[in-house]
């Protein structure tokens, strides 16, 4: 078997890529600017040069088993990126096919949260687990669900949009997806900042956060204030954890996972967030599931995680979906 895979994480700003071995060591990595190329063919050309150079520099030309890609709105079944709002290319992009043409190895593609779940299962804290849910807490809330040892893609390849489960059926906040009350509108980094702004406007207690221009408050500001003892900032985390724990109780009623694994900036808020999540989960969980599902933090280094997660999919890549094919690539 060839000893390496390549992981490519396509983000709105940067595309990070790396060569990874079977033990999850990132042998080498580099990046290019995603947004520089309005034409996806120019993007592929730059990526071919940059990644090709990296591969040659590490004498890995014939040693790549496959390429795994994590990208927003990427469809595992079709190999397409479909209408991703944060990428420069409109419509449907046959990314797996284009990369296969450029590099001549099998390519598999999925969205970034699914890639994170596969990475966690292959190299991280979910090693050996057959049932778990990965929740990524970043600018948005993403998820990757594993059932019976397999990622849940659903019939159309887009399953696992737990950031867009409606947690506030009435009086819910506007979400970026156009609906109201989604988990993401409350429990992402931006959701935390929004909660802080709401609290500051509606409540009257003093808070260090009042020293900042209200529109510029970030989740990091709320974290810093809470860590220095600010009561209002702490209650923002309490509120966030309360909603998250309730949502997790519903997720557990669905797939009864061995663990829920949290990843991303907000997940590193420590007890500020974990304690209210656990309390809310305990309060809201169906008795039959009580105390059974572990709440874990990702073990992957944030800097490597995107590439590692995508690369893990590279081991699974067998046959690259082409624009003409809508068959699963398994």
Is 124 a residue that touches its own copies (CB under 8 A)? no
Q: 167: which residues sit within 8 A by CB, 6+ positions away?
A: 181, 182, 183, 186, 243, 246, 247
Is 159 a residue that touches its own copies (CB under 8 A)? yes
Site string for its own copies, 62-91 (x = CB under 8 A): -----------x------------------
Beta bridge partners of 134: 144, 261
Is 173 a residue that touches its own copies (CB under 8 A)? no
**Which of residues 33, 130, 203, 318 is near its own copies by CB under 8 A?**
130
Is 147 a residue that touches its own copies (CB under 8 A)? yes
Alpha-carbon torsion 64, 66, 70, 72, what sign? positive
Structure tokens at 157: 């390849």
DSSP code at position 173: P
Q: In angstroms, rounded to a whole number, what is the distance separating the alpha carbons of residues 165 and 302?
A: 25
Is 256 a residue that touches its own copies (CB under 8 A)? yes
Is 288 a residue that touches its own copies (CB under 8 A)? yes
**Which of residues 128, 178, 213, 229 is near its own copies by CB under 8 A?**
178
**Which of residues 30, 31, 218, 284 is near its own copies by CB under 8 A?**
284
Shortest distance, position 209 Cβ to its own copies, whole Å: 26
* Distance (Å) of CA 77 to CA 73, 74, 154, 274: 12, 9, 10, 35
Q: Are 26 and 20 in contact (CB under 8 A)?
A: yes
Is 120 a residue that touches its own copies (CB under 8 A)? no
Closer CB to its own copies, 170 or 204, in the complex: 170
Among the listed ranges 200-208, 224-232, 249-257, 299-307, the one in contact with its own copies (CB under 8 A) is 249-257
**Which of residues 98, 135, 249, 317 is near its own copies by CB under 8 A?**
249
Shortest distance, position 175 Cβ to its own copies, whole Å: 9
The strands making up 150-151's β-sheet, listed across from edge to edge, are: 150-151, 141-147, 132-137, 259-263, 294-297
Among the listed ranges 88-96, 176-184, 201-209, 265-273, the one in contact with its own copies (CB under 8 A) is 176-184
Is 179 a residue that touches its own copies (CB under 8 A)? yes
* Distance (Å) of CA 35 to CA 13, 86, 88, 90, 325: 6, 9, 6, 12, 28
Is 18 a residue that touches its own copies (CB under 8 A)? no
**Which of residues 246, 268, 275, 278 is near its own copies by CB under 8 A?**
246
Among the listed ranges 32-40, 115-123, 172-180, 187-195, the one in contact with its own copies (CB under 8 A) is 172-180
Structure tokens at 218: 């970030």
* Distance (Å) of CA 289 to CA 165, 250, 254, 256: 20, 11, 11, 7
Beta bridge partners of 81: 74, 93
Is 150 a residue that touches its own copies (CB under 8 A)? yes
Give the binding site for its own copies (CB under 8 A).
Answer: 73, 129-131, 145, 147-148, 150, 152-162, 164-169, 177-179, 246, 249-251, 253-258, 284, 286-289, 292-293
């Amino acid at each position: 078997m060839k000893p390496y895979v390549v992981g490519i994480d396509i983000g709105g700003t940067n595309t990070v890529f790396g060569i990874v071995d079977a033990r999850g060591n990132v042998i080498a990595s580099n990046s290019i600017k995603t947004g520089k190329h309005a034409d996806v063919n120019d993007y592929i050309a730059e990526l071919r040069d940059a990644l090709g150079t990296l591969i040659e520099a590490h004498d890995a030309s014939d040693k790549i088993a496959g390429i795994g890609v994590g990208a927003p709105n990427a469809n595992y079944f079709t190999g397409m990126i479909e209408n991703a709002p944060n990428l420069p290319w409109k419509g449907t992009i046959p990314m797996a096919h284009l990369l296969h043409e450029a590099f001549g190895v099998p390519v598999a593609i999925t969205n970034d949260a699914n890639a994170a779940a596969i990475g966690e299962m292959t190299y991280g804290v979910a090693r050996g687990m057959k049932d778990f849910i990965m929740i990524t807490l970043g600018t948005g809330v993403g998820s990757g669900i594993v059932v019976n040892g397999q990622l849940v893609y659903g019939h159309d390849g887009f399953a696992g949009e737990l950031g867009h489960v409606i947690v506030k059926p009435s009086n819910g906040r506007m979400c970026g997806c156009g609906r109201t009350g989604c988990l993401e509108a409350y429990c992402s980094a931006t959701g935390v900042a929004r909660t802080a702004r709401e609290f500051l406007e509606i409540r009257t207690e003093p808070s260090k956060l009042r020293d900042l221009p209200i529109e510029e408050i970030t989740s990091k500001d709320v974290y810093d204030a809470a860590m220095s003892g600010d009561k209002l900032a702490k209650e923002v985390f309490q509120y966030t954890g309360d909603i998250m724990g309730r949502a997790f109780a519903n997720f557990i009623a669905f797939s009864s996972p061995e663990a829920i694994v949290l990843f991303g900036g907000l997940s590193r808020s420590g007890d500020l967030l974990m304690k209210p999540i656990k309390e809310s989960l305990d309060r809201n969980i169906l008795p039959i599931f009580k105390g059974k599902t572990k709440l874990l933090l990702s073990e992957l280094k944030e800097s490597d995680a995107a590439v590692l997660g995508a690369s893990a999919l590279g081991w699974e890549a067998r046959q690259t979906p082409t624009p003409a094919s809508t068959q699963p690539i398994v």
